[in-house]
Every structure is written in structure tokens, then in C-alpha cells.
Amino acid sequence: MSTHAALRYVTPLREGGSLPALIETEAGLYVVKFRGAGQGARALLAELIVGGLARALDLPLPDLALVHLGDGFGRAEPDPEIQDILRGSGGENVGLAFVPGAFAYEPAAHADLIDPDLAADIVWLDALTTNIDRTARNPNLLVARSEEGPKLWLIDHGAALYFHHNWASVDAERARAPFTPIKDHVLLPVAGPVDVADARLAPRLTEAALTDVLATVPDALLMDAPEGREPAFDTPAAARAAYADFFRERLAAPRRWVEEAVRAQAERPDASPLPYRR
């Protein structure tokens, strides 16, 4: 994964609860989430891990990179809340490349532009990663124009992997548990069969693929802990092993979380997908 140096704080993005910002780097503009924000390093871990899984599955994600904040970065910012976040965010943070001209996905306006197979793949990924934050109220999807027509982009996975906020409660049963919030997924009404997506995607998340995804996560983020608390694991290797164990267990058949998504799809008031306008 690329690492870029933060050169200039361009503007805060106040739509997000963690107060991300548009940052200029030597590689262009990135929307950056900061380890010093209220959601802390675990939101950044979720961004890296879920983003890495999305890339491994060839799902549309803007370029995912680490963004390094040097000492004193942004000290001229007048907003004390921003200053406080930046002071606590020295070192590596997480950014997604800025997508020019993109706008938020609106189900009423864009639903018929989404390929049902792609929608099913995204539903599957979010069920795998327990992502509660892809609903009609907050889709966390962008639509941008391209030569081939409208293109969908996945953004903002900081609320996924919520199990990692309490590792003591994670066991095999929890790892395999259904994900009932999938019934509220914004793309469920336009998705193709989720069980078909499962057959397409699950074989791709091999042991090697999981190892590659987790290898991109910096040790410093894995060992970060809220003030006054100890890290959940003694070493970065132990933390990576815990994430790998979770996904290994979750991907083992039979996958109850896939069955739950299929059930949610079948129990929609009108279970037929909306027509796809190419």
C-alpha cells in the first residue's frame, strides 16, 4: 500500500462524525480519516481491512493509502477542534483518493443504474464485515461519471468490524453469527441473488488473500489504544492473527450470515430486483 505525505489541510468534511478532511498530498487530494478523531484507530483499522478486502474482490474503491502527518502539520488551522484532532494524529492515517465530480448515491435517482451483480457483491462484503453503515439514510456510496457511464464507488468503512471494539467477547460463535442489520442495506432492493455472489466471492478470500490484506495494516495502528487503556494484544502479530482467525471462522461453511442475507432478500415486500437501466 502506498504512503503519501500530507502537505496541506484543504478543508474539513463535516458530514462525517469523525471530522475527516480533504488533504493535499504529493500524489493528489485524499479524503483522510485521523487516528486522533473520536472514533480512534479502530475506525482506521476497519477502513484498511474492509478496503483491502474490497480491493481483493475487485470492488470499486478509490485508491486506498496511508497518509503521513508530520510534526506540526495543520498548526495554522484556526478551529480548535481540528487542531486537537491533528495533534493526536501524527504518523500514519488513512485516506481514500478524492473522486472529482462525485455525488452521494440516492436510491430514488440511481437505483436502476446499479448492476445487480455488483450490488449483490457489495451486500455480501458488508455482511461479511458487519458493516452497519450502508443504509438508505447513509449509503456511503458515491456516483461519478465515467466514459462507460455512471460509476459507483464504495467509501467509509469505519463503522464495520464492530466486534473489534470488544475482543474479549469474540469467539467462534460470534464470528459465525448472522448479521441481521443486512435487511436495511441500501442496495438490497437492487441486488442480484446474494447466494450467487457468495459462490462467486468466498473462494477468492483465501488464506493468502487474508494475509496480504492484514499485512498492509501498520503495526502502530494495530497497537494503538484509547488513552488509559492497554492494547488488546501484546504484539502486532497477535492482532493480525486474531483478525485472520475471525475471518477464517466467518468464511467457513455453512455461512449463516449469507443465509440471513438471502432470507432478508426473500422477505422484502417486493422481492424482485428493480430493473437495471444500462
DSSP states of the chain: --EEEEEEEEEE-TTSTT--EEEEETTEEEEEE-TTSTTHHHHHHHHHHHHHHHHHTT---PPEEEEEEPTTTTTT---HHHHHHHHTT-EEEEEEE--TT-EE--HHHHGGGS-HHHHHHHHHHHHHTT----BSSS--EEEE--TTS-EEEE---TTS-GGGG-GGG--HHHHT---GGGGGBTTGGG---HHHHHHHHGGGS-HHHHHHHHHTS-HHHHT---TT---SSSSHHHHHHHHHHHHHHHHSSS-HHHHHHHHHHHTSSS-SPPPP--
Following CA atoms 33, 34, 37, 42 in sequence, which dihedral angle do they give, to the nearest 10 degrees? 80
* The pLDDT of residue 227: 73
Q: Is the pLDDT of residue 188 over 90?
A: yes
Using pLDDT thresholds of 50, 70 and 90, give the confidence band for residue 274.
low
Tell me how many degrees the CA angle 50-274-184 measures, rounded to the nearest 5: 45
How does residue 152 score in pLDDT terms, banded at 50, 70 and 90? very high
CATH topology for 104-266 is 1.10.1070
Grade residue 217 by pLDDT with cuts at 50, 70 and 90. Answer: very high
User: Is the confidence at residue 137, as pLDDT, over 60?
Assistant: yes
How many C-beta atoms surround the C-beta of residue 61 within 10 A? Answer: 19
Give the integer Cα–Cα distance in Å for 32 and 66. Answer: 9
Q: For residue 273, what pLDDT band results from cuts at 50, 70 and 90?
A: low
pLDDT digits (tens, 9 = 90+) for 58-104: 999 999 999 999 998 988 889 999 999 999 999 999 999 999 999 99
| Phi and psi, residue 210, nearest 5° | -65, -40
pTM (predicted TM-score)? 0.94
Per-residue pLDDT tens over the stretch 118-133: 999 999 999 999 999 9
| CB atoms inside a 10 Å sphere around CB 144 | 15
Radius of gyration of the chain from Cα atoms?
19
Domain ranges of the chain: 3-97, 104-266
